[in-house]
Amino acid sequence: MACIVWPLRFTPPPPPPPLSHLSSTRVGFGPKPPSRLGFNSMSQPASEANPDTSKPETPDVLVQYVVLRRDLIDTWPLGSVVTQGCHASVSAIRSHKDDPRTLQYCSPENIDSMHKVTLEVKGEPQILNLSEKLKAGGIEHKLWIEQPENFPTCLATKPYPKSIVSSYFKKLKLCK
């Protein structure tokens, strides 16, 4: 058996792209030049004028919760259960189409970055119980009732700031 070895040439990889998009990257060594960013005026440091400069303020994210029934996930085709969640989600959005939070959630700036959390409950009694708790707390939602069977399959909230609604869902499991 013959083996032919061809001469190999080493071609170095291309240089890495410039890091111009990283504004905080410094090239070189030595002490960092003094910055005026820490002062609001010549006599007052920014930390005294605004005591909470240590962490940036993050807006409360708008989120829509979708809750499915585990008993249906285990017995129905997956596509059918997903469709039920889609029905409830669209219905909750459509029913509150003029709500300022819904308008913000569906705005052109946010349409590609919607936040949804999909959770599960054990069965029909649990989804009915959750719906009652949401009603009692004034949380607008859609309990989807499958027709013609006339039984609840899932629910979805209208978009809310996460801090307002997360407590109603903290004991539920993520749907897997």
Give the tokens for residue 164.
Answer: 């307002």
- Contact present, 19 and 25 (Cβ < 8 Å): yes
Give the tokens for residue 102.
Answer: 């819904």
- Contact present, 93 and 106 (Cβ < 8 Å): yes
Domain residues of the chain, as ranges? 62-174
CATH class label, 62-174: alpha beta
- Contact present, 46 and 54 (Cβ < 8 Å): no
Q: What is the pLDDT of residues 73-86, one digit of tens each?
A: 999 999 999 999 99
Does pLDDT of 66 surpass 80?
yes
For the segment 101-120, the average pLDDT, to the nearest whole number, is 96
- Contact present, 144 and 84 (Cβ < 8 Å): yes
Q: What is the pLDDT of residues 116-162, one digit of tens each?
A: 999 999 999 999 999 999 999 999 999 999 999 999 999 999 999 99
CA pair distance 93, 111, nearest whole angstrom = 13
Q: What is the pLDDT of residues 10-38, one digit of tens each?
A: 555 566 555 544 444 444 444 544 444 44
Residue 50: predicted pLDDT = 47
Beta-bridged to residue 173, according to DSSP, are 120
CA pair distance 110, 89, nearest whole angstrom = 16
CA pair distance 41, 37, nearest whole angstrom = 10
